[in-house]
């Protein structure tokens, strides 16, 4: 397995995904707490993910599915499943009646050796504990089990975030949100056993998520904000990059959301408002790109030194010779920029027109319950909808894309994007050919 990426527009070679399973069900019970944008149909979401996988295979790339890869590797390399069993033994808890809990845990430690890889993987995903209590029923004492789950990994299908693949290899992240903190443990174990080159693992107090990293051949963008901090960026620059230049992008506050009530989820990562469709061609939401401040670091004698800090992201990319294809605020909220570039000027993109109704209705509910925070954003989304309806240019069906020679494959992702991400977020690109 080769694991190096120099530019977003180089030809896709290997990619890893995770088809969501039962863990998504628990996320849908309380979407907000599980970091989902809205409720959605799980059955349709899984079907959409299967279609995304089909389109990835159609590009000619090698597509790995995380769970399937883990099971295959566990058969080829017993040390992987043995490590997973030991980790599962640390995760699972037996509580309640002391004697019953001790007996159950000792039994589990013996039985875990008999458990198949899929069962062990599900323990890691769901993080169960068993509460035991004694109860007398019709004169006989029985032990009643109650299974509880400690935050199932409902966001694992967003495979971009647990790590980033740079021009040097894989950098394992450290997730910002506690709901996702266990995910990199699984992806690192599987990737390392698959032969990926792990060049660095972000350490405390750093936090870093892969959606904030975008390679662009002679430079790389790294977002800094709610999901990634400077501690992590400094670690990565010192240990995991070979790019000539690094541009740190400060997450901009959305101009349509009041400063006293910001919502960092609206543009949580760089790829939620900017992406590269090809060499020197960017797609993005200009109000956000034009507001994001940057710090530029250039490599000198093997170390990155700050050389500039008074530009916006738009100014920086224009200075690099980039052209922009603008998207509206509504399209940005519908993950238009969260496409996956499979080769220079060829992308797999969300079919925005099929998604706008859900996004607008969800935003309308937010504006109704908190007008101070969301009314401006909702009003702009409605205005954008009218314009896009008149022109028929919902992303990716845009004249600007066609005139710039961009080929696109639209995919229906109106349900699964309810988890807060599109095709880019759902794919861990392992290698590209440039």
Question: Kindly report the CA angle at 323 between 15 and 61, in degrees rounded to 5?
Answer: 15
Q: What is the pTM of this model?
A: 0.96
Closest CA to 361 of 132, 44, 39, 58: 39
Q: How far is CA 374 from CA 32, 264, 336, 358, 360, in A?
A: 16, 13, 20, 16, 11
The string of DSSP codes covering 379-416 is: HHHHHHHHHHHHHT--TTS-HHHHHTT-EEEEE--TTG
The arithmetic mean of pLDDT across residues 154-173, rounded, is: 98
pLDDT (tens digit per residue) in 261-308: 999 999 999 999 999 999 999 999 999 999 999 999 999 999 999 999
CATH value of 11-66+153-433 in 3.75.10.10, 3.20.20.150, 2.60.40.10, 3.30.300.30: 3.75.10.10
- What are residue 245's DSSP bridge partners? 219, 298
Closest CA to 224 of 121, 280, 296: 296
Coil, strand or helix: which one is 244?
Answer: coil
Q: How far is CA 107 from CA 81, 127, 145, 160, in A?
A: 19, 18, 15, 38
Q: How far is CA 389 from CA 139, 226, 324, 353, 386, in A?
A: 71, 33, 22, 9, 5
Longest dimension (CA), the chain: 82
Q: Output DSSP code: residue 159.
A: T
pLDDT (tens digit per residue) in 43-90: 999 999 999 999 999 999 999 999 999 999 998 988 889 999 999 999
pLDDT at 403: 97
Q: Output DSSP code: residue 176.
A: S
Residues of the chain with CATH 3.75.10.10: 11-66+153-433
Confidence of residue 15 (pLDDT cuts 50, 70, 90): very high
pLDDT at 13: 98
Q: Are 8 and 341 in contact (CB under 8 A)?
A: yes
pLDDT at 137: 86
Instruction: Classify residue 136 as exposed, middle or buried by CB count within 10 Å of its CB (0-12, 13-18, 19+).
Output: exposed
pLDDT at 295: 98
**Would you tell me the crossing angle of helices 66-76 and 117-126 to the nearest 10 degrees?**
130
Beta strands in 24-127 (DSSP E): 62-65, 93-96
- What are residue 281's DSSP bridge partners? 278, 323
| φ, ψ of residue 238 in degrees (nearest 5) | -80, -20
pLDDT (tens digit per residue) in 377-432: 999 999 999 999 999 999 999 999 999 999 999 999 999 999 999 999 999 999 99
Say yes or no to pLDDT of 208 above 90.
yes
Say yes or no to pLDDT of 2 above 90.
no
């Amino acid at each position: 397995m080769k694991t190096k990426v120099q530019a977003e527009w180089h030809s896709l070679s290997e990619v890893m995904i995770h088809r969501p399973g039962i863990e998504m069900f628990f996320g849908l019970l309380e979407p907000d707490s599980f970091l989902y944008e809205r409720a959605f149909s799980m059955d349709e979401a899984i079907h959409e993910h299967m279609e995304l996988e089909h389109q990835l295979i159609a590009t000619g790339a090698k597509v790995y599915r995380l769970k399937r890869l883990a099971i295959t590797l566990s058969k080829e390399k017993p040390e992987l499943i043995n490590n997973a069993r030991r980790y599962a033994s640390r995760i699972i808890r037996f509580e309640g009646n002391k004697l019953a809990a001790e007996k159950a845990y000792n039994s589990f430690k013996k039985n875990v050796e008999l458990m198949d890889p899929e069962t062990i993987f599900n323990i890691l995903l769901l993080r169960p504990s068993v509460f035991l209590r004694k109860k007398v029923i019709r004169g006989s004492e029985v032990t009643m089990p109650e299974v509880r789950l400690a935050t199932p990994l409902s966001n694992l299908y967003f495979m971009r975030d647990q790590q980033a693949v740079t021009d040097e290899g894989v950098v394992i992240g450290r997730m910002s949100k506690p709901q996702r903190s266990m995910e990199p443990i699984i992806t690192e174990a599987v990737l390392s056993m698959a032969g990926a080159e792990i060049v660095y693992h972000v350490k405390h107090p750093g936090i870093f998520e892969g959606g904030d990293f975008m390679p662009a051949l002679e430079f790389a963008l790294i977002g800094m904000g709610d999901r990634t901090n400077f501690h992590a960026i400094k670690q990565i620059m010192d240990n995991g990059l070979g790019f000539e230049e690094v541009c740190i992008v400060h997450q901009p506050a959305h101009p349509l959301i009041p400063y006293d009530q910001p919502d960092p989820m609206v543009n949580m990562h760089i790829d939620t408002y900017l992406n590269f469709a090809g060499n020197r061609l960017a797609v993005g939401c200009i109000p956000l790109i034009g507001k994001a401040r940057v710090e530029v670091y250039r490599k000198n004698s093997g170390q990155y030194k700050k050389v500039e800090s008074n530009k916006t992201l738009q100014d920086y990319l224009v200075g690099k010779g980039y052209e922009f294809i603008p998207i509206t605020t509504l399209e940005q909220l519908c993950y238009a920029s969260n496409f996956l570039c499979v080769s220079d000027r060829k992308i797999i993109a969300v079919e925005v027109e099929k998604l706008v109704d859900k996004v607008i209705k969800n935003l309308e509910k937010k504006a109704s319950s908190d007008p101070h925070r969301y009314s401006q954003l909702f009003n702009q989304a409605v205005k954008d909808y009218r314009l896009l309806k008149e022109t028929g240019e919902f992303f990716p069906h845009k004249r600007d894309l066609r005139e710039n020679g961009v080929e696109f494959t639209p995919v229906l992702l109106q349900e699964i994007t309810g988890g807060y991400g599109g095709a880019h977020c759902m794919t861990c690109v392992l290698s590209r050919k440039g």
